[in-house]
Amino acid sequence: MRLMKKYKIGFDIGGVITTHTSLLRDIISILAKSDKVELFIVTDMEQDVAKELLEKNHFHFDSDHVLSADWLKYESRCKEEICKEYGIDILLDDYMPYLTGLSTTLGVLLMPKNNWPYNPCEWEAS
């Protein structure tokens, strides 16, 4: 019998979780219950800032699953480096340059509607 792979899925914060807060909170909650999925945050924010914003908005991730990409070192390839290092299979992001260089990860571009705010009322930013 073939063992099913455990898929690693990464979510960006700004423009992804901030724009689709309720929907992604529900989806992440459902996925977190599966033993076939491991969830990560992949952000270009500092890890402590990202962790604080996630907690404030009721997203609960262990610190070792909140990954801060090094923009200064890798520029637009920074999330590609994180995905390679952690073996992330799928990355949901709203910034095309972060997704175009992915070689081992499926990049999913989330495009909010023009009239959707980047940080809607339901997202507590500070």
Query: In degrees, to the nearest 5, what angle opens at C-alpha 109 toward C-alphas 104 and 115?
Result: 165
Question: pLDDT value at position 121?
Answer: 64
At the fourth CATH level, the homologous superfamily of domain 7-109 is HAD superfamily/HAD-like (3.40.50.1000)
How do the domains of the chain map onto residue ranges?
Answer: 7-109
pLDDT digits 0-9 by tens, 1-50:
667 789 999 999 999 999 888 999 999 999 999 999 999 999 999 999 99
Asked whether the predicted pLDDT for residue 120 surpasses 70, the reply is: no
Q: Which residues of 36-59 are buried (b: 16+ CB within 10 A; e: fewer)?
A: ebbbbbbbbbeeeebbebbeebeb
pLDDT recorded at residue 124: 77
pLDDT of residue 88: 98
The beta strands (E) that lie in the chain are given as 7-11, 37-43, 66-68, 90-93, 106-109
User: Which residues, 6 or more positions from 2, have their beta carbon under 8 angstroms from its beta carbon?
Assistant: none
pLDDT in tens, 85-117: 999 999 999 999 999 989 899 999 998 767 766
Residues near 21 by beta carbon (within 8 Å), at least 6 away in sequence: 57, 120, 122, 123
